[in-house]
Structure 1
């Protein structure tokens, strides 16, 4: 077989010709080789890994396609609410430099999901990517968009970069691996992120990958793909979930129960359209209004009870988390208030009141810089920026 055939068979990768030619020139020059046939004979060993490193240039950033993380977090919350002893298994493949699985871990922590209730595995073909992921050090390029408050909480500035703090850093398990090599004896996952990999695959390799993903995805699980990949996967036993912007899929034979049994009506959470409804004609807005009236009247016990009832049905209702934070602050439990308000902010980054509340808590803790960040965000929202 020639170099292209060897690379495609072993990894599924079919890079464009200019990229492959540059990679070949680089490796052959380094090895002092002139003949492609001689180089091809080296590709049954470690040299294949070296070539693969050069034909895929992983680029990602924190919370890329935020709707995917909303969808995954919501599913985890529903699973845990249904079974408090459940451990939801999550896979990121490929994981690039760790941006995706670390984002998932931050999302779950902000949503208040206990670390014991989930497990995140991450694999990548590139050994260099795995080393970067384990180092957990990122440049400013890994943080895009205007909503970067999470960086101030989860990362420590280090020269020109940012280093991820514990415990998020230790919550992801990295290893080098090839998705196509994962067989029937591999673990099953409730949620799989497989985004921006299949764009390097031809039709045959996409079929191979889809079969592996179907095996890895537990019955009732969710697969999160890239926007260009979802249509191809739908030709291989997957179907779309009604979650705009998430590019979420399920095995046609086994849709996630939490999404299949509850028809969903459109609404927006954190600027992203998600779909939820409550049973028996009761609206989330109605329950939230009741909770607000209890809070305004100082009936904190009733407010908390109403919020918990709402969140049991709608874990992503940001307003309920805000009221729980108010109740905790009233009771003098500052740390609980902070946890609730962070969940609110994760779900609704444009929530003015929670930004002010978190600024006050930061000042209470003597963290003037963090308080200023919250106030600046609130000011930008007021100005319409």
Structure 2
């Protein structure tokens, strides 16, 4: 047994977090869903809400819940289809499980990695999660295991959680584990392994020291958690690893006192976002605006609204990087660049109109802005 304990450290302030909870914590006894550890984890979420914070939960456990319903193992030769069926059966029970533990409405969000690689679907997912948080719901995110064959094979909700953390502009990614944090060796095999409490930057040595899968229920080990932390760090999100089986650790965590591992972000979220906006290739054409709109963007830090748009040039689509152009007697000048919430064809239809008219003109709406200020960089 390892005798080296983690000391307590203070967490930096945070407002929005993603919390990843694996199957080993939700199906603790190898059967269906259990509140043995989930009760304290939910208590952390509730305490965070009371402190005015937002938490997105990325939860495994659908297959484990479905297995408890079926009471049988997948048949040989049809394992993937059977596991997908178990996921479909268990997902409803998983959402009901979280709803019974939390203090506000729970919303199911099923994603695949493909949803988050495709820029337009990425924007749709981001808008949905933002709206849920705005309405004070708790998004419970899981992979869409019933159709995601490759993702189900990997079973890697750790990396999905890192992607979601970047998606919602989280300040921190909390990953609940069944050990106290990161050690310099596998503590199950090396009793003299020492805690690693702060990681300024993940190194190959730390990744190689990470152990394998620790549970027959879950499919992610410490290495996948570090890979997720590496992904989050590159997106400007810090990661915290802690023991989700210990109620005292969770109670302290709700008070910003960590006994576990904190992995720093490589750069701030603002710096990461700015670098991406500056360097992502823009589509041909652009959005032509009037002088009033250009002034609002430059002087007031405003979003680009349809009323200030003259026209759209080119054939770009929703989610593409576009340039914002001012055209007058002095010629054409680039004012800004950013992610367009609408296609060029849609923008031409709503140009010079009020934001409230977008839905009546198009038959749908992706929001009031053509380019939101969070997705825009001045040139």
Higher relative contact order (CA 8 A, sep 6+): 2
TM-score, normalised with respect to structure 1: 0.29
Structure ranking higher in helix proportion: 1
Structure ranking higher in strand proportion: 2
TM-score, normalised with respect to structure 2: 0.29
